[in-house]
Chain A
Amino acid sequence: MADIYAYINHKNGVADDSALELIEAAKKIDAGAAVTAIVTGSGSELDQVADAVAATYPKVLKFNADALAYPNAEVVRKLLVNVLPADAILLVAHDTFGMDLSPGLSIKLDSAFVSDVADIEGVDGSTLKAIRQEYSGMVSTHVTCDISAGAVINVRPGCFAPDESQSAGGTVEDKSGDAGDLSTGRTFLEVVEAEVGDVDITKSDVLVSVGRGIEDEENIEIAQELADAMGAVVSCSRPIVDAKWLEKSRQVGTSGQTVKPKVYMACGISGSFQHMGGIKGSPFIVAINKNVKAPIFQVADVGIEADILEFLPELTEAIGEL
């Protein structure tokens, strides 16, 4: 089988959790594979990350260049095309960087691309068998992928449980000299940090979170009344922010805030994986949804099949009478 590589994301000198998850995904492709990690960046942060990743990966390739100081996917794509063998199997986390990098990379390497893989069932000859989800997680699919000419595989964060105990004692090789031409038509300018809203939802012990099931802007009031009765704060899923019914600072999810309240009430939220990504480790999740098949019920502790527009006012009233 072709060599397996993993592209490691990092920030502020610390490797992303996906570094541990990608090596577990690689083991499901080839249990005995010596997986090579690729770390790009610049300066001492890069060295720090490369050394840390060598604890998990037997071999780490380090690429140091000013152009790589920020992970601009166009620049990283050029680098990987310059340095990867054509039949490489490359694992990348399916996050906003991986989504930016990978589809085009697979074309440039002329290899297969499987997006957002939730599980890998193994390899039969040159056919990789994987599991993905479609329609916002409402159904799953088995897919096959011909990896004979290499593959780029994006792995959904949180789906492969890391084995924290392992120690690879790997080596770091500085391959910066092989980077080649990294000029592109896209220049990174800056990261604009999220605006701080009127309420910091990450500080609340209890969140009454609303999704599409709230149906109308004026119905937000129903959730607000419940939150007031409970001493909670109102948060929401992405469609509510897209519709501009609540401000972005109230959004829970990978593209919004990560929260860890004592109780998370998901009201009319179906539960896309991006949303679940924002409540990782939330201790107690209550899901109220009229669609009993909504994915949120798979992660909730307590589920109620109900129309939130009818249920929430009754709950508010009952709490008011306590």
Chain B
Amino acid sequence: MEILVCVKRVPDTAENEIEVNGSGSDIERDDLVYSVNEWDNYAVEEAIQIRDNVGGTVTVVTVGDDESEEVLRREMAMGADNGILLTDDAFEGSDGKGIATLLKAAVEKGKYDLILTGAQADDGAGQVGGMLAAMLDVPYASLVNKIEVNGDKLKVGREIEGGNQEMNEIAMPCVLSIQTGINEPRYVGIRGIRKVASVEIPELGAGDLGVDAGAVGAAAAKVKRVDYFVPELGEGAEMLEGSTEEIIAKLIEHLKAKGGLK
């Protein structure tokens, strides 16, 4: 099976405190630790497991600048066979539709049976997979947490509310967005990283993709971010201050009053 996985380099929110810069135009990016978007990492692991079971190849693709190459190499060290970097100044400021337009062009340069994305990334929009499927006119399922291959069809489980799982049969080719928890992404060691360090990763710009530069980037974006801000807190929590002993004493009083201690 030929599988394409769309990945993104994002600030690692588990490792960083995200702060807004002085003017509100961006987050503070100095000293940020970047990594592969967590959901995408599960998608790549799932693709590798499917390939190992039924054969084929796994290709990882990303839209970004030169630094985004590091996430492609990381996923190749994990076990993906190929990487593709979509990069061009014209792509900057693309909204979800712009990114999906670029990915569609990349998909059409290959012949993929299955396309995976993470369920969402840093902006929390969760939009690129569904947009890409609609542009390609293939079936889509989001928040997928189980995949079984049955010939040219897949049986997929979707995570829905209340811990329940919605089972669907979906025809390939198709696009699925992958929810965390579907598998346990494997550990990537230094040796794996070294092994793929010199592999050539093709870079494709607007011309290579046959994409009209005016159809992507900031100019084409219907949805635009104006600024970043930290919301004013509501009443907020009563912060307990003092020494640890004093804090614990105050907390125990609260717990007693609210029925938190038996």
Name A's B-contacting residues (CB within 8 A): 72-74, 77, 95-97, 99-108, 112-116, 129, 132-136, 138-146, 184-194, 205-206, 212, 230-232, 238-239, 241-242, 244, 248-249, 251, 254-258, 262-263, 265, 283-287, 291-293, 297-306, 311, 314-315, 318-319, 322
11 intermolecular pairs with C-beta atoms under 8 Å apart: A104-B131, A133-B124, A135-B11, A139-B229, A140-B231, A194-B165, A242-B180, A244-B184, A251-B163, A254-B161, A311-B244
In the assembled complex, the CB of A54 is this many whole angstroms from the nearest CB of chain B, namely: 25
Which residue of A has the minimal Cβ distance to B238?
A: A302
Are B141 and A100 within 8 A (Cβ)? yes
The segment from B71-79, B198-206, B248-256 found at the interface with A is B248-256
At the interface, is chain A mostly helix, strand, loop or mixed?
mixed
Are B229 and A141 within 8 A (Cβ)? yes
List the A side residues contacting B260 at CB < 8 Å. 206, 230, 232, 262-263, 265, 284, 286
List the A side residues contacting B19 at CB < 8 Å. 139, 293
Q: Does B225 contact A (CB under 8 A)?
A: yes
Taking a contact as CB atoms closer than 8 A, the residue among B123, B134, B226 that contacts A107 in the complex is: B134
Are A189 and B167 within 8 A (Cβ)? yes
List the B side residues contacting A135 at CB < 8 Å. 11, 13, 18, 27, 122, 124
Interface centre among A73, A184, A230 (most CB of B within 10 A): A73
Measured CA separation A132–B122 after assembly (Å) = 12
Chain B contacts with A in 208-240, Cβ cutoff 8 A: 222-231, 233-234, 236-240
A-B complex: 6 closest residue pairs judged by Cβ atoms: A231-B262, A103-B130, A303-B237, A194-B163, A263-B260, A104-B134
Are B158 and A96 within 8 A (Cβ)? yes
Taking a contact as CB atoms closer than 8 A, the residue among B14, B167, B226 that contacts A190 in the complex is: B167
Are A139 and B134 within 8 A (Cβ)? no
Are B164 and A191 within 8 A (Cβ)? yes
Measured CA separation A97–B166 after assembly (Å) = 11
Are A100 and B96 within 8 A (Cβ)? no
Which residue of A has the minimal Cβ distance to B119?
A: A99
Q: Does B159 contact A (CB under 8 A)?
A: yes
Are A189 and B230 within 8 A (Cβ)? no
Measured CA separation A115–B127 after assembly (Å) = 7
- Given A107-B135, A191-B160, A192-B157 in contact, is the A96-B143 Cβ separation under 8 Å? yes
Are B141 and A263 within 8 A (Cβ)? no
Taking a contact as CB atoms closer than 8 A, the residue among B140, B163, B229 that contacts A248 in the complex is: B163
Chain B contacts with A in 167-188, Cβ cutoff 8 A: 167-171, 174, 180-181, 184
Against A, the Cβ 8 Å flags (1 = close, 0 = not) of B115-158 are 00001001111111111011100111111000000000001011
Measured CA separation A299–B234 after assembly (Å) = 8
Q: Does B261 contact A (CB under 8 A)?
A: yes
Measured CA separation A248–B125 after assembly (Å) = 25
In the assembled complex, the CB of B122 is this many whole angstroms from the nearest CB of chain A, namely: 6
List the B side residues contacting A113 at CB < 8 Å. 96-97, 127, 131, 223
Q: Does B31 contact A (CB under 8 A)?
A: no
Which residue of B has the minimal Cβ distance to A136?
A: B13
In the assembled complex, the CB of A254 is this many whole angstroms from the nearest CB of chain B, namely: 6
